[in-house]
């Protein structure tokens, strides 16, 4: 699988003009807070997924005083990916020079995993965050998934419009329920199949980083296992009408992470949570590599935070063994400099006032 061979970023937050030739393995970006380290990761994330992990408003990434920001990458297999975002205009994404309508193909070329301060939300946050985590893996392993999910979303949108009307058209509702059930069942099959592959790898990877007695992971499809979705929709209709939205279905799915009967986030310390989240994301990379021969790209912001040197080294060794390209940030290069096995010498970059320079 291709990795980032060349990266250019212009007018993104405090990064003015950046040109990099990163290592295909480990890259460490160090410098003071506010120097631009996280902005670099944000630019890669924006290029690969079309959204920032720091703001819901993409326009906020454009540098103050600039009208447009650009991100351009050449991968090791020669694939070119470019993105531009101008104020008050939609983003323009190009793959091999051809304008893209969405990020589906680009995301396949740049399978990104993010580990940062917001990653705690995988344990502490709502079901939507865990669905997104799960669906990242399903998307890369089950290629029919995206089409079935789009059909499901279309059916849900039409159904929600119907149940908001003063007079419910039951014939139309039955038709959309039938179509929704067909598409949703395919989504559930893909998720369940992926989760069955993911679970043993996740538990194995977690044990390599941390011992958590009683930890269990469980996939819940979004409606009761004992009944069909069609029956669940009928039983939920009164509630759906009252709330003006469908209350059961794959859009309500979740991945429970528990210790005994309690949510893991209620019991674990911040350091333990960071190790657990790191293990879950590394396990996804392992599954992707074993199933498709694809090594993902990891963006790791401020790994030393909440982790001592011993645990940082454990995480770094797993990342090296994964064979992925890794971009890490730290205030002090020494915090990560001694965390690597001898076979993986990281390439270091100093970041200061929006300038990024390689360090010998």
* pLDDT (tens digit per residue) in 42-58: 999 999 999 999 988 88
The reported pLDDT for the residue numbered 360 is 75
Q: How confident is the model at residue 343 (pLDDT cuts 50, 70, 90)?
A: low
Distance CA 349, CA 27 (A): 8
The reported pLDDT for the residue numbered 339 is 63
Give the count of beta carbons closer than 10 Å to the beta carbon of residue 13. Answer: 22
The reported pLDDT for the residue numbered 140 is 94
165-215 confidence digits (pLDDT tens) = 989 999 999 999 999 999 999 999 999 999 999 999 999 999 999 999 999
H/E stretch holding 218: strand 215-220
> Which stretches within the chain are classed as H helix?
37-49, 104-109, 121-124, 127-141, 145-163, 170-209, 229-243, 270-292, 309-322, 334-337
Distance CA 322, CA 341 (A): 13
Q: How confident is the model at residue 338 (pLDDT cuts 50, 70, 90)?
A: low
The reported pLDDT for the residue numbered 304 is 87
The reported pLDDT for the residue numbered 348 is 92
Distance CA 323, CA 237 (A): 49
CA dihedral (177, 178, 179, 183) in degrees, to 10, reads 100
Give the count of beta carbons closer than 10 Å to the beta carbon of residue 58. Answer: 16
Distance CA 142, CA 146 (A): 8
Whether the pTM exceeds 0.75: the reply is yes
Interacting residues of 297 by C-beta distance below 8 A, sequence separation 6+ = 3, 4, 44, 48, 110, 111, 112, 113, 324, 325, 326, 327
Grouping H, G, I as helix, E, B as strand and the rest as coil, residue 64 is coil
Average pLDDT over residues 235-255: 96
Contact 222, 250 (CB under 8 A): yes
Tokens representing 118 are 């917001």
Average pLDDT over residues 85-94: 94
**Is the pLDDT score of 341 beyond 70?**
no
**Is the pLDDT score of 346 beyond 90?**
no
12 bridge partner residues: 15, 62
Helices and strands in the chain: count of H runs, count of E runs? 10, 15
CA dihedral (171, 173, 176, 181) in degrees, to 10, reads -110
The reported pLDDT for the residue numbered 117 is 85
Domains defined along the chain, listed by start: 1-111+294-360 (3.40.50.300), 119-292 (1.20.1050.90)
Contact 3, 75 (CB under 8 A): yes
The reported pLDDT for the residue numbered 303 is 87
Listed range (6-15, 109-118, 126-135, 328-337) with the worst mean pLDDT: 328-337
């Amino acid at each position: 699988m291709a990795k980032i061979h060349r990266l250019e970023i212009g007018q993104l937050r405090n990064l003015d003009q950046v040109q990099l030739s990163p290592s295909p393995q480990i890259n460490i970006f160090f410098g003071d807070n506010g120097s631009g380290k996280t902005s670099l990761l944000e630019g890669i994330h924006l290029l690969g997924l079309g959204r920032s992990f720091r703001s819901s408003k993409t326009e906020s990434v454009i540098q103050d005083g600039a009208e447009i920001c650009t991100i351009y990458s050449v991968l090791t297999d020669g694939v070119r990916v470019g993105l531009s975002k101008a104020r008050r205009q939609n983003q323009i994404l190009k793959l091999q020079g051809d304008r893209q309508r969405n990020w589906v193909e680009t995301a396949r070329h740049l399978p990104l995993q993010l580990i940062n301060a917001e990653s705690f939300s995988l344990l502490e946050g709502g079901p939507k965050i865990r669905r997104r985590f799960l669906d990242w893996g399903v998307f890369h392993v089950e290629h029919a998934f995206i089409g079935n999910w789009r059909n499901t979303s279309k059916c849900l949108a039409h159904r929600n419009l119907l149940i908001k009307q003063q007079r419910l058209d039951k014939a139309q509702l039955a038709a959309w329920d039938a179509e929704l059930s067909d598409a949703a069942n395919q989504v559930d099959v893909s998720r369940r199949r992926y989760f069955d592959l993911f679970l043993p790898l996740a538990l194995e990877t977690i044990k390599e980083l941390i011992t958590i007695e009683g930890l269990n992971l469980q996939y819940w499809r979004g409606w009761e296992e004992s009944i069909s979705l069609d029956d669940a929709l009928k039983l939920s209709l009164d509630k759906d009408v009252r709330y003006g939205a469908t209350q059961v279905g794959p859009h309500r799915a979740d991945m429970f992470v528990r210790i005994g009967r309690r949510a893991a986030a209620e019991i674990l310390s911040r350091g333990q949570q960071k190790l657990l989240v790191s293990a879950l994301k590394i396990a996804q990379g392992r599954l992707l590599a074993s199933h498709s021969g694809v090594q993902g790209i990891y963006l790791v912001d401020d790994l030393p935070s909440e982790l001592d040197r011993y645990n940082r080294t454990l995480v770094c060794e797993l990342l090296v063994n994964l064979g992925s390209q890794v971009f890490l940030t730290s205030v002090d290069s020494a915090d990560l400099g001694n965390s690597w096995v001898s076979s993986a010498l990281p390439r270091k970059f100093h970041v200061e006032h929006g300038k990024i320079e390689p360090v010998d």
